[in-house]
Amino acid sequence: MDMTHLPADPRLQPDETVLRERLGRQRALANGLLAGMAGITIGSYALPLGYWTDLLQASAKAGLVGGLADWFAVTALFRHPLGLPIPHTAIIPQQKERLGQGLGRFVANHVMTEAEIRRVVGRIDAPALLRRFLSDPDHVRPTAETIAAALPRLLTTLEDGRARRLLLRLLPRMVTGPAAARLAARTLRLLVKGGRHQEVFGLALSQIKALVAAKEESLKAAISQRVRAEGGVLVGWVAGAAVARRVLSALNAELENMEPGDSDLRAAFEAWVEAEIDRLEKDPARAEAIGTALRQALAHPAVATWLGDAWTRLRAALEADAARPEGRTVTLIAGLLTNLANMLDQDEAARARLNRGAETALLAVLPAAQGRIAGFIAEVVAGWDTATVVDKIELRVGRDLQYVRINGTVVGALAGGVLFALLHAIFGRVAF
């Protein structure tokens, strides 16, 4: 089928239209040269006999043969020449599936390579792109809202039972070991630096004072009873109430002495906390003891039940808050994204880690991606109808193949003329 006479298809992309026009022009030129050689061959027999007529005739015949041979070879790639089912012609249509498989393997193994992935990652500079994107407030807030909107769907797809089991497996690992001990120590130091430990001490002190005040009568009775038990009924009757009053008065006085921020007991409490933090950081045995206690606590059924309930409440709270554009979840995510942009702007090591991470992730999926790409290309080519395969390939390489025909015609004519002249010079008049 002559592709130059196909009607214009409005669905064709502009580049395919240009390729089709160029192919048509080159085919017309090749056909014209072939027809010209045939015309010269026939016309030469009407010329007077002589050396130059023989030379022209020999050149035209050789050009005609060369042009016909190359026409046959080029046509045989795409279809049967003249529609005749000649063996080993229409090569591309008959080898469509193998062609698709070979093309897929070529793209997968020679284009999608490790070296190419590294080159692309280095040229793209993913940290710079991410930093510029997250540095724009117009991008950060919508991105945070999108992430927050996806959280309920993500939590819905996560089974509660599986989430609880994962939480119970991860928490013991997170709260044990040297790394967890160091993290706990740093957290406690921050609390101490902010004075939170004294707030805890003050809260405990106020609770003790409130308890003593609420239980004053029962404490007096208990002390009096103890005095009677130790000193007898007479001593208890005479001094029991007085001893109870004095004990409670001394206890209240001591609690009042603890109240000021510069009290000795508060200073001793702070020194004890600092010492315990140092032990937590430097004493592996202390860290292991705390880790063991935490593991035992987390293994208790009541704690497991509480953690499951905490997960349910946390999930419900996240789902409710994530649905609000001005909720804490969106604000938190937006802040994290902004902090990420600042870190990428200031921390060169973080940028290098991100590049290495992107490269590592791409290289990790490269073998699977190569197989999928090769299979995809093979399936696409196998799914094309024969006419589509021929058309697409011929549009890309047909113009160069027409140059092969042109060169074959021209080179054949020149070679025929040179060969005739050479043989004539050696042997005299020759038949050609």
Is the CB of residue 413 less than 8 Å from the CB of residue 37?
yes
Is the CB of residue 291 less than 8 Å from the CB of residue 237?
no
> Which one of 346, 368, 394 terminates a domain?
346
Distance CA 298, CA 171 (A): 8
Residue 137 and residue 196 in one domain: yes
Q: What share of the chain is helix, strand, coil (3-state, %, to 5)?
A: 85, 0, 15
pLDDT(110) > 50: yes
pLDDT(33) > 60: yes
Q: Is 108 exposed, middle or buried, given 0-12, 13-18 or 19+ CB atoms closer than 10 A? A: buried
Mapped onto helix, strand or coil, the DSSP state of residue 180 is: helix
**Which pLDDT score, from 0 to 100, does residue 69 have?**
92
pLDDT(34) > 90: yes
Distance CA 75, CA 34 (A): 14
Beta-carbon-side half-sphere exposure of residue 385 (alpha carbons within 13 Å): 2
**Which pLDDT score, from 0 to 100, does residue 39 have?**
95
Residue 308 and residue 391 in one domain: no
Task: Quote the number of domains for the chain.
Answer: 2
* 428 Cα distance to chain centroid: 78
**Which pLDDT score, from 0 to 100, does residue 31 have?**
93
With respect to residue 16, please indicate whether it lies within any of the assigned structural domains.
Answer: yes
Structural domain span for residue 396: 3-94+384-427
> Which one of 346, 368, 403 terminates a domain?
346
pLDDT(8) > 50: no
Residue 79 and residue 181 in one domain: no
> Which one of 295, 330, 346 terminates a domain?
346
Residue 68 and residue 180 in one domain: no
pLDDT digit string (tens) for 113-164?
778 777 777 777 777 878 888 788 788 888 888 888 787 777 666 655 666 6
With respect to residue 118, please indicate whether it lies within any of the assigned structural domains.
Answer: no
Calculate Rg over the CA atoms of the chain: 46
Beta-carbon-side half-sphere exposure of residue 410 (alpha carbons within 13 Å): 9
pLDDT(261) > 60: no
* 427 Cα distance to chain centroid: 76
pLDDT(326) > 80: no
Joined together, the tokens standing for residue 95 give: 């080898």
pLDDT-derived band of residue 432, with 50, 70 and 90 as boundaries? low
**Which pLDDT score, from 0 to 100, does residue 415 have?**
93
With respect to residue 292, please indicate whether it lies within any of the assigned structural domains.
Answer: yes
With respect to residue 145, please indicate whether it lies within any of the assigned structural domains.
Answer: yes
With respect to residue 144, please indicate whether it lies within any of the assigned structural domains.
Answer: yes
Length of the chain: 432
**Which pLDDT score, from 0 to 100, does residue 405 have?**
92
Distance CA 232, CA 2 (A): 129
Residue 313 and residue 186 in one domain: yes
**Which pLDDT score, from 0 to 100, does residue 7 have?**
42
Question: What is the arithmetic mean of pLDDT over 255-266?
Answer: 60
Residue 180 and residue 287 in one domain: yes
Residue 187 and residue 232 in one domain: yes
pLDDT(10) > 60: no
In the chain the first and final C-alpha atoms are separated, in Å, by 35
pLDDT-derived band of residue 216, with 50, 70 and 90 as boundaries? low
Residue 237 and residue 191 in one domain: yes
With respect to residue 116, please indicate whether it lies within any of the assigned structural domains.
Answer: no
Integer CA distances (angstroms), 18 to 8, 28, 388, in order: 11, 15, 17
What percentage of the chain reaches a pLDDT higher than 90?
11
With respect to residue 279, please indicate whether it lies within any of the assigned structural domains.
Answer: yes
Residue 220 and residue 164 in one domain: yes
Place of tokens 């041979």: 69
* Closest-CA residue to 188 (of 304, 73, 119, 276): 276
For residues 390 and 201, which has the higher predicted lDDT (pLDDT)? Answer: 390
Residue 299 and residue 400 in one domain: no
**Which pLDDT score, from 0 to 100, does residue 4 have?**
41
Mapped onto helix, strand or coil, the DSSP state of residue 306 is: helix
**Mean pLDDT for all residues in the chain:** 75
With respect to residue 369, please indicate whether it lies within any of the assigned structural domains.
Answer: no
pLDDT digit string (tens) for 227-258?
555 554 444 444 556 655 666 666 666 666 65
Is the CB of residue 76 less than 8 Å from the CB of residue 88?
yes
Residue 60 and residue 195 in one domain: no
Residue 259 and residue 190 in one domain: yes
Mapped onto helix, strand or coil, the DSSP state of residue 42 is: helix
Distance CA 126, CA 308 (A): 39
